[in-house]
Structure 1
């Protein structure tokens, strides 16, 4: 048996309970069983838990899609990893990383370089994979493009900064606190603005327009983004927590576009491209996950609260499961 967070009813964080009698999952032929050291928390985890997502898991379920740990055992057809290997995982269609053990399909588990901690490993998956998909598979970003990352101090925003800079783009970011601004600068952004400053949009609009905008909070910023795009500009919506009113004329004259992104819709070929690119980034050293805070398993509900209600994002929130 193992310890895990169980959600028996969709709702608030009070639905997240530590259970001590959960059966350890058995890996299939093409799966690995991972001893979870750390589990990463993403906004999508909170949408699932609260029942506000298009496709919901059967109840009860164990939350969590990102994790880092050690391979405990491997199925008979697994060829890329063996027991004892340090790994991180990212699985879009499965859950269960807020537990002492989790199974992952072989294509969803990846070597964790020794230069990265387990906390950092748990911060790679969804943020970096989503940022890569947004920039290259949706925005077709290229070296020399001017990129605005609206909400750059969160885990996905920082990942987008690092990826864009590593690929020769000029990056402008926004953040809501001085600490967040400093963090975005340290990630390599060429310019950073405080989006709580009432004059920041005027400062942005006085500068050059952007070829690509990566938008983390579309219900607040999307209307502004349309005015900040260059001719044929592309705004990619990574996150939104409500509705927004737009003026299509702001797109028409520029022949600009707005596109949503969802990692779970990636084809096998796109998934392979993403994982290969991020793996190359880990080897090259530009994948540098920033961990904001580490929680215990008993504090997992607080992590779910904080990722939505914090006053300023500063990297990834991680739950430490065991040593």
Structure 2
């Protein structure tokens, strides 16, 4: 709830969501007005918290950054996480074919439930061989160790956007493959974007994704809502990668 509206036309007591600069381990936070979002119809505070950063991250990357289109194929690494499940649903809403990687049959089953078409267990299958020259877009959270395989999986004119470095930040790149295939490589973080760019990301996300949420075409997936005092337990889930979807802390 807005406690101080500052010099905006907002009202004290108005219920909103917000795209924060960093983590949300607080009961009060100062936010630029352009980073406020309405609560989707029928959503609770916890449900809203679960979709803001994931939706903004996915829309800004697969649409605004690399222009995923209807009829294309996208590969989403880490399909069972909060970003992954949101990306599956938005990509399906656009009309894309969705391939995902995950590390267990249970996580892949969740991915399938949310619309994934091609399920790859990276512990048992080589995604590059399975998807050789098929992917128009790759949403990558691994970084260095996956670069060579990602380029192998990309189709002619393919676009890869890296948003995480879970596997490391260094790799050797074959410029010849990049040139012959016409591949483009992108790297982004939401946190570093200027305030005006974040405002535009928020505007486009509300315009395009919020109707999907309110109509039920895109759903949140909360693994667990935990008290703020149990933040260490939530971080333990993340460290062990034993969760699916999003963890929410509630003051």
Fold equivalence (TM over 0.5): yes
Cα distance in 2 between the residues matched to 1:81 and 1:283: 24
Check the 8 A contact 1:89/1:125 in 2, yes or no: yes
Look up the match of 1:222.
147
Alignment of 1:148-159 (within 5 A): 148-159=75-86
Which residue of structure 2 aligns with residue 301 of structure 1? 232
1:288 match:
219
Distance 1:293 1:301 in 2: 13
Query: Does the Cα contact within 8 Å between 1:157 and 1:216 map onto a contact in 2?
Result: no
Which structure 1 segments of 5+ residues have no match? Answer: 1-70
Distance 1:189 1:154 in 2: 13
The answer (yes or no) to whether the contact 1:153–1:180 under 8 Å persists in 2 is yes
SS in 2 for 1:302: helix
Q: Does 1:113 find its partner at 2:75?
A: no
Residues 1:315 and 2:245 aligned together: yes
Structural mapping, 1:264-275, within 5 Å: 264-265=192-193, 267=197, 268-275=199-206
Alignment match of 1:90 (pick from 19, 24, 47): 19
Q: 1:270 and 1:124, CA in 2 relative to 1: closer, same or farther beyond 3 A?
A: closer
* Pair 199,105 (structure 1): closer, same or farther in 2 beyond 3 Å: closer
Which segment drifts farther, 173-182 or 106-115? Answer: 106-115
- Which whole-Å deviations, capped at 9, do the CAs of 1:82-131 have from their partners, x for residues lacking one? 51x44321123xx4631223333332222213422332211112211011
* Secondary structure of the corresponding residue to residue 165 of structure 1: helix
Matches within 5 A, 1:201-216: 201-205=128-132, 209-216=134-141
Change (3 A) 1:96 1:149: closer
Q: How does 1:8-23 map to 2 (within 5 A)?
A: none
Query: What's the TM-score, normalizing by structure 1?
Result: 0.69
Contact 1:233–1:254 (8 Å) recurs in 2: yes
Q: From the two aligned structures, give the one with the greater helix fraction.
A: 2
- For residues 219 and 154 of structure 1, the distance between their equivalents in structure 2, rounded to whole angstroms, comes to 20
In 2 relative to 1, CA 81–177 (structure 1 residues): closer, same or farther, beyond 3 Å?
farther
Query: Is 2:98–2:116's contact at 8 Å kept on the other side of the alignment?
Result: yes
Task: Give 4+ residue runs of structure 1 displaced > 6 Å after superposition.
Answer: none
Aligned residue for 2:69, secondary structure, equals coil
Larger Rg: 1
CA offset at residue 178 of structure 1?
1.6
- Alpha-carbon distance in 2 for matches of 1:119, 1:219: 34
- Separation in 1 of the partners of 2:154 and 2:128? 13
